[in-house]
Amino acid sequence: MKTEQIHIPVLLKEVLEYLNPKPGNTVFDGTLGGAGHTAAIFEAIAPTGRLIAVDYDSQAVSTAAILFKDCSNIFLSKGNFSDVADIINKFGFKNIDGFFLDLGLSSIQIDKSGRGFSYIRDERLDMRMDENNPLTAFKVINEYDEEKLRKIFFGFGEEKYGGRIAGRIVLCRRNKSIETTVQLNEIIESAIPAKERFSKRGHPSKRIFQAVRIEVNRELENLSKAINDGFEVLNKGGRMVIISYHSLEDRIVKNKFLDLNGKCTCPPGLPVCICGVKKRAEIITKKVVTPTAHEISENKRASSAKLRAIEKL
């Protein structure tokens, strides 16, 4: 395994601390990506541990197969982490001791995939993690009606100019299809007031690209299912660690973990709890874990990372 070829992983020290992988453990890494976390987890559970590493992107799986070609206890699979139960069963496992997700885009996807994940590059509108997915960013931008675009931009991008941008897209595509990231960037910029295009809110296209990517890959739906199903196959004492990068993901992780921690769902004001909720996990990150200033200076992509962890009771 040539670790020098592996990218710098976010919050690596904290991931190992909270996941607490031990020799002989079986761990599920649902976001293989550039394999930085994967390599470190595998080293922690070696020589007898087993690591199931998964990615939706066949490019990531192919690269990892070369990196780990001499490692018999790593099981690589192309797929989505929401199918955790089926994936581990495929390799002959019923339960796992650790479950890990890093929900950020890998450098492979941003810099080398050519699928239009980045608003900085001039690429075709695709944004599929899985090249077999029939839904592409091109279809979303060119075929969704204005109201559906508006809902996505507000809901998944939290973009306050989502309505104006949706209207401008529909207007522009009447003349010709919107095919590239540069074309979409120009439309987005034209719909945002000039004084706000490059303010504290960051690049004007950031939220729209995020929203379209989430829609194409059903990211939030898959995350919810992954937490539910991953927890069910986790052994008692096993840990689940998830790194998210925007508020929509973090909200899902936080609320799911609170539910598993036994948070009462009764309406306020009732004298006694009647919801029957049971505590099934202990939250071991009492407050969200974020990168240090030093890590951010070394890796700007870590700046928005948030880590949460639980242990199954």
Residue range(s) of every CATH 1.10.150.170 domain in the chain:
113-217
pTM of the model: 0.91
Residues of the chain within CATH 3.40.50.150 domain(s) are 3-108+220-312
Q: For residue range 53-93, what is the model confidence (pLDDT) as tens digits?
A: 999 888 889 989 999 998 899 999 999 999 999 999 999 99
Residue 248 pLDDT exceeds 60: yes
Arithmetic mean of pLDDT over the chain: 91
Q: Are strands 281-283 and 234-244 parallel, antiparallel or unpaired?
A: unpaired
pLDDT digits over 194-238, tens only? 877 766 667 889 999 999 999 999 999 999 999 999 999 999 999
**Class for the domain spanning 113-217:** mainly alpha
**Amino acid 5: pLDDT:** 47
Cis peptide bond N-terminal to 47, omega within 30 = yes
The Cα–Cα gap between 79 and 29 comes to 12
Packed helices 181-191 and 162-172: angle between N→C axes, nearest 10 degrees: 130
CA distances from 292 to 8, 167, 289, 300, 304 (A): 15, 41, 9, 11, 11
Sheet holding 234-244, edge to edge: 74-78, 50-55, 26-29, 96-102, 234-244, 306-312, 281-283
Q: Judge whether 303 and 293 are in contact, CB under 8 Å.
A: no
With pLDDT > 70 as the criterion, what percentage of the chain qualifies? 94
CATH value of 3-108+220-312 in 3.30.9.10, 1.25.40.10, 3.40.50.150, 3.90.1170.50: 3.40.50.150
